[in-house]
């Protein structure tokens, strides 16, 4: 398969790349890194990426961020960061990508643990995760040409523990191997409309 991995150089995307490499042709995409550069917050940049890749069998997105902070101090504008910088960019990768994905291909988005196991300050990200998982469930029944769509929702990764030190009390970090396998299940398996939980 020809597989686009957006965020392939990141903590999450690299697990997908490691799990899939060797069996497939991977197109690694990042904001500044990778074979091709894209800003998924910019629809013109997404279109340009697909013009460069041409047809593919699968698209994985493992990029996006939200606002972190206590809900009582958060503005609506800050809450929208999760929509504008995580949920909507991933949705736009799907909407723009449908013509470029071969029959029977797939999209795999990335949400995260915070809408089922919350942490202090995580409301914005939890909301964005819920939007992504809801989009996947709704879109799966409408996807043309047998295209499948899923999301992977990992817990805090072992490789990210230092970065988020103190923010996830009591969370048991998940291995890169298990997160990578979740992307394999979505790309190489048969499921659609599902959120693959990695806890």
Closest contact distance (angstroms) between CB of 30 and ligand NAP is: 3
| Cβ distance to ligand NAP smaller for residue 41 or 193 | 41
53, 106, 110, 151: residue in contact with ligand NAP (rule CB under 6 A): 110
Residue 167 is a binding residue for ligand NAP (CB under 6 A): no
Q: Of all helices (H) and strands (E), which one includes residue 190?
A: none
Helix, strand, or coil here: 127? helix
In the chain, what's the furthest Cα-to-Cα distance?
A: 48
Q: Name residues whose C-beta falls within 8 Å of residue 141's C-beta, 6 or more positions apart in sequence.
A: 193
Q: Binding residue for ligand NAP (CB under 6 A) from 18, 24, 35, 41?
A: 41
Question: What distance, in Å, lies between the first and last C-alpha atoms of the chain?
Answer: 28
* 167-175: Cβ within 8 A, 24+ apart: 167/68, 167/119, 167/120, 167/121, 168/119, 169/119, 171/113, 171/117, 171/119, 172/199, 174/198, 174/199
Q: Which of 154, 180, 181, 195 contacts ligand NAP by CB under 6 A?
A: 154
One of 18, 33, 80, 184 touching ligand NAP (CB under 6 A): 33
Residue 33, both tokens: 């890194």
Which is closer to ligand NAP, CB of 32 or CB of 103? 32
Cα→Cα distances 89→19, 70, 119, Å: 24, 24, 24
Please identify, using beta-carbon distances, which residue of 43 and 98 lies nearer to ligand NAP: 43
Please list every residue from 6 through 25 that binds ligand NAP, using CB under 6 A: 6-7, 9-13
- Rule CB under 6 A: is residue 30 a binding residue for ligand NAP? yes
Residue 180 engages ligand NAP in binding (rule: CB under 6 A): no
Residues near ligand NAP (CB under 6 A) are 6-7, 9-13, 30-33, 38-41, 62-64, 86, 110, 112-113, 154, 156-157, 160
């Amino acid at each position: 398969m020809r597989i686009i991995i957006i965020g392939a150089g990141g903590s999450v995307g690299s697990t997908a790349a490691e799990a899939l490499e060797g069996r497939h042709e991977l197109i690694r995409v990042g904001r500044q890194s990778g074979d091709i550069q894209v800003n998924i917050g910019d629809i013109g940049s997404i279109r340009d990426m697909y013009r460069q890749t041409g047809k593919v069998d699968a698209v994985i997105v493992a990029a996006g961020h939200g606002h972190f902070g206590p809900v009582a101090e958060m503005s609506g504008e800050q809450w929208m960061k999760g929509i504008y910088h995580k949920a909507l960019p991933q949705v736009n990768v799907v909407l723009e990508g449908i013509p470029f994905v071969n029959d029977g291909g797939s999209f795999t988005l990335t949400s995260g643990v915070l809408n089922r196991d919350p942490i202090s300050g995580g409301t914005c990200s939890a909301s964005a995760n819920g939007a992504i998982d809801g989009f996947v469930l709704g879109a799966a029944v409408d996807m043309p040409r047998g295209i499948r769509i899923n999301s992977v929702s990992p817990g805090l990764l072992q490789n990210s523990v230092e970065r988020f030190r103190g923010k996830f009390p009591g969370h048991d970090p998940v291995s890169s191997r298990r997160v990578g396998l979740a992307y394999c299940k979505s790309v190489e398996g048969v499921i659609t409309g599902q959120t693959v939980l990695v806890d």
